[in-house]
Structure 1
């Protein structure tokens, strides 16, 4: 399978939207955003950033031919005191393509692109603790845990804990 991984271009914001909504619909317990809330929005968070080619807020995509099958977003903090860091959010691979190292390559590509940004020194990533596959992947890449929020998210009557992880530029192995 010939998967190409690259930053999304302005004309691909609608492809991003479709895949983002798919992940929220398929995995409501893995993301804090709600499918119905997001579907009702004219533009999702990253759509405008993709359309404007924002270097501080971007999405890396995995493509099979011209079909977007995976995404990983980077969001740089915009406050002066914390602009030395950002976070990877909305990482997702279509279930038909999982288990083929696409998620690993997406996250690595996102990190590589983020560390090219002037003054970015650290990257955060969060995971719902029941999402053990994602957590293993993040640890394999080099993220380390720095805290857990109990009962962080509530879906119907079930609570989910939230693990916070960090990767420092000076400890990252490309």
Structure 2
């Protein structure tokens, strides 16, 4: 099966950030490589060499592997809504989302690093935390489908790790041998902890201006509104969606509390009920809770839990679905549900997803129907709301028949 790889290229990109992994992917059989930019006009990297984009952000295909190189030119992209919207669209469909060097900063600005382990160039490594990432000092860091490489030359290692993930270790080793990639640097000065003190200080001073500019750009990014959409150009960004972990529990509790206190009319559970307030599915087999993030903030949640009964394990319950009102019109709920369905679709012995929703919650029912859920029962007066009684609709979606 052919694998499609997409590199974002841009003015003042670091040459080796692209050239290293590009060389590795070009040696991989059945691999199509695309170079994306806003136009197909040639552009110069920071070393002056010209590159020819092969497709535009609007016209190119969705890719299996998204790769963002770094360089001086990454700075203006931290505030570029068009580029960030494209990164999010590609990331929502890609098997792997990746970066080399300071390309990780753009992933962060697009909201794709929140709660994720990541790395980048040592000089800017601490800036990852500004995007909610967990900085890890390794040459290549993998967290789920996110793979980030360290500074510049780490692009070669990063490329081999990706090939191994796609085609297996043997395929990566064949490429490594063909390229005779067995680095033996003449000096031990490639990491700040190994370099002579004087050398380290020279490089720090030399990069002070670039460092300050990046800090300024990130400061400006933090002041941007949550919504990356550009209504004038009909750009709608896809939120980062991932499974929630233990360190997300506080954010989950806060959002769920807001749901029950401020939007009680849509839930059968009341704020005072004796039910777990934290992430409800931790440790349960074939069960999970997904979160949607924008600008590192948790803005949507949904849980799926497989029935534990021996005779009932063919079905999975969808529950605790909530999207913050400020992002309710941006497709966050639909993205959450699509990801949830996708994750259980391939579990062989699961037959269907079922849920309950209040009869009067027409907006939620319409969303579920748009993704293939159908009504199969109505319990009248199922929930008491103050002096009123509200019916509850049961819905289901078959995964297979």
Gaps of 5+ in 2: 1-227, 229-236
Residue 56 (structure 1) aligns with? 286
Among 153, 158, 162, the alignment partner of 2:383 is 153
105-114 or 79-88: which moved more? 105-114
1:104, distance to aligned residue in structure 2 (A) = 0.6
Report the Cα distance in structure 2 between the residues aligned to 1:18 and 1:154, rounded to whole angstroms.
Answer: 25
Report the Cα distance in structure 2 between the residues aligned to 1:6 and 1:95, rounded to whole angstroms.
Answer: 20
Change (3 A) 1:14 1:56: farther
Q: Indicate the structure whose relative CO is greater, using CA pairs within 8 Å and at least 6 residues apart.
A: 1
1:35 maps onto 2:267 in alignment: no
1:10, distance to aligned residue in structure 2 (A) = 2.1
**C-alpha contact 1:151 1:161 (8 A) present in aligned 2:** yes
TM-score normalised by L of structure 1: 0.87
Moved over 4 A (4+): none
State how 1:88-167 maps to structure 2 within 5 Å: 88-167=318-397
1:118, distance to aligned residue in structure 2 (A) = 4.4
Change (3 A) 1:157 1:90: same
Report the Cα distance in structure 1 between the residues aligned to 2:260 and 2:361, rounded to whole angstroms.
Answer: 14
Report the Cα distance in structure 1 between the residues aligned to 2:346 and 2:250, rounded to whole angstroms.
Answer: 26
**C-alpha contact 2:281 2:305 (8 A) present in aligned 1:** no
Gaps of 5+ in 1: none
CA RMSD of aligned residues (A): 1.7
Report the Cα distance in structure 2 between the residues aligned to 1:110 and 1:65, rounded to whole angstroms.
Answer: 21
Q: Which one has the largest radius of gyration?
A: 2
**C-alpha contact 2:281 2:303 (8 A) present in aligned 1:** no
Residue 398 (structure 2) aligns with? 168
Report the Cα distance in structure 2 between the residues aligned to 1:49 and 1:143, rounded to whole angstroms.
Answer: 22
1:16 maps onto 2:246 in alignment: no
TM-score normalised by L of structure 2: 0.39
1:155, distance to aligned residue in structure 2 (A) = 1.4
Change (3 A) 1:150 1:57: same
**C-alpha contact 2:299 2:323 (8 A) present in aligned 1:** yes
Report the Cα distance in structure 2 between the residues aligned to 1:137 and 1:146, rounded to whole angstroms.
Answer: 16
Q: Deviations over 1:138-165 (max 9, x none)?
A: 0110001101000000011111111111
Report the Cα distance in structure 1 between the residues aligned to 2:285 and 2:296, rounded to whole angstroms.
Answer: 23
Q: Is the strand fraction higher in 1 or 2?
A: 1
Report the Cα distance in structure 1 between the residues aligned to 2:341 and 2:261, rounded to whole angstroms.
Answer: 26
1:49, distance to aligned residue in structure 2 (A) = 3.0
**C-alpha contact 1:14 1:47 (8 A) present in aligned 2:** no
Q: Deviations over 1:20-74 (max 9, x none)?
A: 1111112212111111235xx6x43x53633x4x443311110012210000110
Report the Cα distance in structure 2 between the residues aligned to 1:170 and 1:163, rounded to whole angstroms.
Answer: 22
Counterpart secondary structure, 1:60 = strand
1:129, distance to aligned residue in structure 2 (A) = 1.1
**C-alpha contact 1:144 1:166 (8 A) present in aligned 2:** yes
Counterpart secondary structure, 1:47 = coil
1:75, distance to aligned residue in structure 2 (A) = 1.4
